[in-house]
Amino acid sequence: MYRLIAPLLLTLAFSGSLAASDFDVDVPMHLKGASTFYISGRIGTMPVTEFMVDTGSSYMTINEETLASLKLTEEPIYLRDLTGILANGDTMRVPVYAVSQVQLGDGCLLEEVEVAVFPGATRQILGLSVLLRAAPFVFSTNPPQLQLSNCTLAETKTGDQTVLATGIENL
């Protein structure tokens, strides 16, 4: 437990001494009932999806449907099984895969990302395993946005030109 809390506290403490210009990417969030915030993003080359931002979750999670879609176009790599404790105290054993990349918002690209796969059609969760890779980060509710550092700026190639990726809008 300490191994999970200590990096978060260090990240939050360090981020207090940063200026807004110290962050690579601002990712807009939108509020959906019960005080949950979501961002838009992509997993691999899949269409835009939404992720619930959950700083209390240790891992980024995807559902079985998303994994099945990824297997059609890419080769996610099975790494191991993980036994996790859910918010209600129950334990669940889930597989962990490596996916080629995850894009958060319009511009934050992270490569070789580990994701836990939950059964069924559960929502995708953006947890600390990914947020800490883009640390330091700021989770702001006014305005609702994530400010991320240590991102590779997402680019797309069009002919002989390379341009910043666009087209990810709030869902």
Q: Any idea where the domains of the chain sit in the sequence?
A: 22-164
**108-118 and 60-63 strand pairing:** parallel
Query: Which pLDDT does position 31 carry in this prediction?
Result: 92
Both structure tokens of 97: 């895969």
User: Was domain 22-164 assigned CATH 2.40.70.10?
Assistant: yes
Question: What is residue 106's DSSP assignment?
Answer: T
Confidence of residue 18 (pLDDT cuts 50, 70, 90): low
Letter string b/e over residues 105-130, b meaning 16 or more CB atoms within 10 A of that residue's CB? bbbbbbeebbbbbbeeeebbbbbbbb
Q: Are 40 and 53 in contact (CB under 8 A)?
A: no
Query: Which pLDDT does position 35 carry in this prediction?
Result: 84
Q: What is the mean pLDDT of the chain?
A: 81
Confidence of residue 36 (pLDDT cuts 50, 70, 90): very high
Query: Which pLDDT does position 86 carry in this prediction?
Result: 81
Q: Starting at the earlier edge strand, list the strands of the sheet with 138-141.
A: 25-28, 144-148, 138-141
Please state the rounded mean pLDDT for residues 1-21: 44
Cβ atoms within 10 Å of 63's Cβ, excluding its own:
17
Query: Which pLDDT does position 21 carry in this prediction?
Result: 57
Residue 149 to residue 125: CA distance in whole angstroms: 19
pLDDT > 90: percent of the chain: 60
Query: Which pLDDT does position 19 carry in this prediction?
Result: 52
Please state the rounded mean pLDDT for residues 79-104: 93
Query: Which pLDDT does position 10 carry in this prediction?
Result: 37
Residue 20 to residue 90: CA distance in whole angstroms: 39
Confidence of residue 166 (pLDDT cuts 50, 70, 90): very low
